Structure formats: C-alpha cells, structure tokens
Amino acid sequence: MTQYAALINRTVEPLQATIFEILWARDRCGQDVAVHRERLNQVILRQAPQYTRADFTEAEQFIAVYVQHLVAVLAPCSSIEQHPWNWIAQPLSFEGDERVLSLLDEFLRTVRKADEYCEWVQETTGIAISRTILGLAHTSSTLALLPDAGGKLLEHLLVPCQTQANR
C-alpha cells in the first residue's frame, strides 16, 4: 500500500505536479465538461505532449492579458458590433493602434480649437456658428469671401455685423 502511496505522490517533472493532482484535475475537468464531451472528443491535440510547464504558463498569461483587453473593449457596449471602433475593418498592430490613437488625439485637438474659434466669433460678433461639419464648411467658405483685414482684426468693427441685414 505504501508503494502505491509513494507512486501517487511522485511529482511528474514536465508538469511539476503529483500523479494524484493530475488525476484529480483530470477527473474534475471531466465532470465540468461532461455536457460537451462529444464535441471535445472531436478535438485532436497533437501538439499537447510537446508543451512544457513554461509553455502552459506563457499561454495562461497571454490569455489573462487577452481577457483583460476584451473586458476593456466591451466595457462601453454589450457586443463588438456596438463598439465605437467597429468601423476599423482590419486588425491593428500595436503600431497601427498607436497611430489611430495619435490621429484621434489630433482630431480632438482640432475639434476643440474649432469650438474655441466658434465661441470667440459668437462672443465677439454675436454670430452663432453651427458646430457641425456643414456649419464649419459654410463658415469657412464665407470667411474665404471676406477681404483680408491686413493685420489684426478690430473687434469693435464687427459689432455692426451682428445684424443679419448688415451682413
């Protein structure tokens, strides 16, 4: 009997676990996946014997990071199709991801600057600029028609422009 006890408590080197632990884990896993056994029997793991404990640890860490990433990605929505970035059709590399974030930062800076200008024009002249793409495009084309001020714009001259008839 002690011979079997010694054998069952012997550590298997590649897995760094005892035979008892391996058998117990296999049995527990078998109970957990019993409902999926037919599908699992169709999966062939030809590569499994080649994996070392370090390989399993590396894969486990990768999966943990991937799970954290998915949790972060799915935080603002309930599915990938509803995610704000679902318009990106191709997978991004880390460099591509950084480029998209950089371009989005630049876009936000531009939008904030345009918003500041719209606010300044409204405070100075009383002219409200529609803060839409069409509104900004219309304002841009209107500004292109105006003559060059030849230097600093005199804000008190803009007061008469507040009424639609004068414009």
**Distance (Å, rounded) from C-alpha 57 to C-alpha 60?**
5
Q: What is the mean pLDDT of residues 47-56?
A: 71
Per residue in 11-23, pLDDT tens?
Answer: 766 667 777 787 7
Per residue in 79-121, pLDDT tens?
Answer: 777 877 777 777 777 788 788 889 989 999 999 998 888 888 7
Residue 131: the pLDDT is: 85
**Distance (Å, rounded) from C-alpha 160 to C-alpha 157?**
7
* Residue 163 backbone phi and psi in degrees, to 5: -90, 140
Burial class (CB in 10 A: 0-12, 13-18, 19+), 28: exposed
What would the DSSP string read from start to end of 62-120? HHHHHHHHHHHHHTTSSSGGGSTTTT--S---HHHHHHHHHHHHHHHHHHHHHHHHHHH
**Distance (Å, rounded) from C-alpha 13 to C-alpha 83?**
45
